[in-house]
A and B are shown apart, each in its own frame.
Chain A
Amino acid sequence: MTSGNLFDLGVTILFGALVSGTPLLFATLGEIFAERSGVMNLGIEGMMLMGAMGGFATWFRTGDLLLGILVGMLLGGLMALLHAFITITLRADQVVSGLALTILGTGLSSILGQPYVGQRVPAPTTLTLPILEHVAAEQIIIVLIGLVFSPLAWYYLNRTRPGLNLRSVGEHPSAADSLGINVIRTRYLYVVFGGLMSGLAGASMSLITDPGWVDGKASGLGWIAVGLVIFASWDPLRGLWVSYFFGLLRRLPLDLQNPALPLVSTANNPSVGRIMDMLPYLATIFILILGSREAFRKRLGAPAALGTPYIRGQRGL
């Protein structure tokens, strides 16, 4: 962390926000795709935890960071596959299944992650850039991945045929079905994709943005992601801004302790820190309230078929 002029401080804080918000971005993007196909996945938190733990454990055992990320993704994807099976094929309630997965993921990651708590963490490859001294290359990489992926996701969703098919499945599965699109297969695909992204989110947390594993690493980020999807109106580009904003909120307590800011004494007060810790969660509720009213005005609603299992021949959607 640099001391010095305010501009440097600003850049540091901004970068911090980007880094902190990137795992959130991954999870949000993944869930946007899943929900666009009509399936709600509340298991994100569990998948992130498994991804974080699994990724960390893999790195710890093998020393291979990339492998850790991949394993984390895979774990998330597998859990999502379970969720897909239960909600799409068995047509069970999407809410409870997702919840069960989160509880499962929480417990599983806790128990399997025991040996890795408080262990040494991956050493970042440090670069020295102007202003941002001692910054981790890995962090830069994932931030870039996020920055690039988001507009790509937007383009995929809105300007390609597979994207059109995806959106149709989530809005009006009967119409899509009648035109030859395989609704079931589409939903499976994107739910698993969402899981892969959640796993990636978790792994990138425990390996890159906030290295280390502790119980409950994700600390509710998975749930925040669910709320962010709504606030982002299921749009990947908007998801980008919202995720970074929340990244900023999360880092706020830390950033305010920066000696360059004249708020040192208040910021150092741990009470204030606790209150600020609450901010992301309160903000989520706040944006949900905003979102519910905005939706009326802008007709930017959820995918119309979100949450309802698809049964061919049923009236309605």
Chain B
Amino acid sequence: MVSSVLGVILALIAGGFVLKAAGVTNPIATYQEIFKQGFGTFADWRAGFTALFTGTDCPKGLLCFGPLSDTLVKASPILLTSLACILAFRMKQWNIGADGQMFMGAWAATAIAVFILPKTTPAVLMLGMMGTAGILAGLIYGAIPGFLKAWFNINEIITTLMLNYVAYKWLEFFVVVGPWSIGDFESTGRFPPSATWPRLTQFADKIPVLSGLTANPGILLGIVAAIVLAWILYRSRWGYEIRVIGNNPKAARYAGINLKRNILLVMALSGALAGLAGMNEVAALRELNGRFQRGYGFTGVIIAWLSRLNPIAAIFVSFLFGGLLVGTQLIQPQGISSMLQGVILFVVVGTEMLFRYRVYIEKIVEDVPVREIGDVS
């Protein structure tokens, strides 16, 4: 993890230079403001900890720790997309299409919420169906490039990317110009109340510490998914197969592991996770409109890398990134968050390679002579 932390620090420094170039006079103040917006002030945190330790009830509940609500809300979708990427990347399948899969999931969930199930459906059933639809849509949308890769060895990077754009347009078609838009608004209109996430604060009478939290249970979906994924990767047979394939496909074949089927499965499941993220977003936004946020899929890539492809670590990194996204919402200039994200990824990739490079060098010194001597084939 050292290189990740190092990478982030370097990235912040580099980002500071970029901010300077964009006309910001004091990048550090900007960073401070971002932190405050995303995570709250020190005063808030102190009050929160004090309340915890003295056993009193902080009047703002968990909000004593700052604008947690917003951060949690932002963290949910990116946690899910990062999990999608983690699963795929573990097997060296580069699913860059989490964005598109998320869009399709959102679309499917909306279809259920607004057009298929009646308004009066109870929330549990409604949300459950939406989730299922989102998962299925993402699953299919991820299985397509998976199939092409597994059976025809077609580069999944390009196919998933292209499908991203197709998904964007697909949504636009339905919501902006087509059948789903209401009047001139590029939107489906409000969902029926049962199709939206309740606020966590609504459960405050059962769990008092939740009072004030306007976040939704979506984050719990993500956490549960992360735990399940961690279990799969580290404790299940399938996870073992995935890790072997991702590390040495030849050895995997030797061990009798079926490569094609696993590629398809992994890409499909990865898509499913991203599709769930889409449902999550739409249930939180309570409508589907033309401003549906793009880019969460790419943020997922970055989080996956920073977490070193570890699902549990992804929970925390997503939280941090959630704070980043919230914090940069109101800061000028716009686009800081994606710039920072890009710089972070780039620096992390670079520094990680530096670490691995050393091991690589040593390996070469060890290996080459052996081949040179006995080199009579």
List the A side residues contacting B148 at CB < 8 Å: 285, 288-289
Residue of A nearest to B178 (CB): A271
A220's contact among B159, B165, B337, B372, by CB below 8 Å, is which?
A: B165
Q: How far is the CB of B192 from chain A (nearest CB, A)?
A: 26
A288's contact among B158, B178, B346, by CB below 8 Å, is which?
A: B158
Size bracket, chain A contacts: 35 or more
A32 at the interface (CB under 8 A from B): no
Residue-by-residue, is A207-241 near B (CB-CB < 8 Å gives 1, otherwise 0)?
Answer: 00000000100011001101100100000000000
Q: How far is the CB of B165 from chain A (nearest CB, A)?
A: 4
Contact check, B177 vs A278: say whether CB atoms are below 8 A apart.
no
B169 at the interface (CB under 8 A from A): yes
B154's contact among A42, A111, A289, A311, by CB below 8 Å, is which?
A: A289
Residue-by-residue, is B41-69 near A (CB-CB < 8 Å gives 1, otherwise 0)?
Answer: 00000000000000000000000000000
Contact check, B349 vs A107: say whether CB atoms are below 8 A apart.
no
List the A side residues contacting B169 at CB < 8 Å: 274-275, 277-278, 281
A264 at the interface (CB under 8 A from B): no
Size bracket, chain B contacts: 35 or more
Residue-by-residue, is B142-180 near A (CB-CB < 8 Å gives 1, otherwise 0)?
Answer: 000000100011110111011111100110110011100
Residue-by-residue, is B134-147 near A (CB-CB < 8 Å gives 1, otherwise 0)?
Answer: 00000000000000
Contact check, A107 vs B338: say whether CB atoms are below 8 A apart.
yes
A260-B335 Cα distance, complex, nearest whole Å? 42
| Interface segment out of the listed A93-101, A130-138, A172-180, A184-192 | A93-101
Contact check, A111 vs B18: say whether CB atoms are below 8 A apart.
yes
Which residues of chain B from 326 to 340 have any CB-CB distance to chain A below 8 Å in the complex? 333-340
Contact check, A107 vs B353: say whether CB atoms are below 8 A apart.
no
Which residues of chain B from 21 to 38 have any CB-CB distance to chain A below 8 Å in the complex? 21-23
List the B side residues contacting A90 at CB < 8 Å: 350, 353-354, 357
Contact check, A288 vs B155: say whether CB atoms are below 8 A apart.
yes
Contact check, B154 vs A288: say whether CB atoms are below 8 A apart.
yes
A282 at the interface (CB under 8 A from B): yes
A313-B367 Cα distance, complex, nearest whole Å? 10
List the A side residues contacting B336 at CB < 8 Å: 111
A277-B162 Cα distance, complex, nearest whole Å? 12
B338's contact among A111, A224, A227, A314, by CB below 8 Å, is which?
A: A111
Number of A-B contacts (CB under 8 A): 156
Contact check, B339 vs A288: say whether CB atoms are below 8 A apart.
no
Contact check, A104 vs B158: say whether CB atoms are below 8 A apart.
no
A126 at the interface (CB under 8 A from B): no
List the B side residues contacting A271 at CB < 8 Å: 173, 177-178
B18's contact among A82, A108, A288, by CB below 8 Å, is which?
A: A108
Q: How far is the CB of A205 from chain B (nearest CB, A)?
A: 17
A106 at the interface (CB under 8 A from B): yes
A86-B346 Cα distance, complex, nearest whole Å? 10
Given contacts A103-B346, A114-B22, A92 and B166 within 8 Å (CB-CB): no
A298 at the interface (CB under 8 A from B): no
A114's contact among B154, B335, B352, by CB below 8 Å, is which?
A: B335
List the B side residues contacting A165 at CB < 8 Å: none
Given contacts A104-B342, A220-B161, A278 and B170 within 8 Å (CB-CB): yes
B343 at the interface (CB under 8 A from A): yes
Q: How far is the CB of B151 from chain A (nearest CB, A)?
A: 10
A144 at the interface (CB under 8 A from B): no
Contact check, A285 vs B159: say whether CB atoms are below 8 A apart.
yes
Given contacts A103-B301, A110-B338, A114-B333, A281 and B166 within 8 Å (CB-CB): yes
A182 at the interface (CB under 8 A from B): no
Residue of B nearest to A223 (CB): B161
Residue of B nearest to A46 (CB): B342
Contact check, A106 vs B342: say whether CB atoms are below 8 A apart.
yes
A161 at the interface (CB under 8 A from B): no
Q: Which 6 A-B pairs have the closest CB atoms?
A: A104-B342, A107-B342, A107-B338, A110-B335, A107-B339, A92-B353
Binding site for A on B (CB under 8 A): 18-19, 21-23, 94, 96, 148, 152-155, 157-159, 161-166, 169-170, 172-173, 176-178, 298, 301-302, 305, 333-343, 345-346, 349-350, 352-354, 356-357, 360, 364, 368, 371-372
Binding site for B on A (CB under 8 A): 42, 46, 82, 86, 90-93, 95-97, 99-101, 103-108, 110-115, 215, 219-220, 223-224, 226-227, 230, 270-271, 273-275, 277-278, 281-282, 284-285, 288-289, 292-293, 311, 313-315
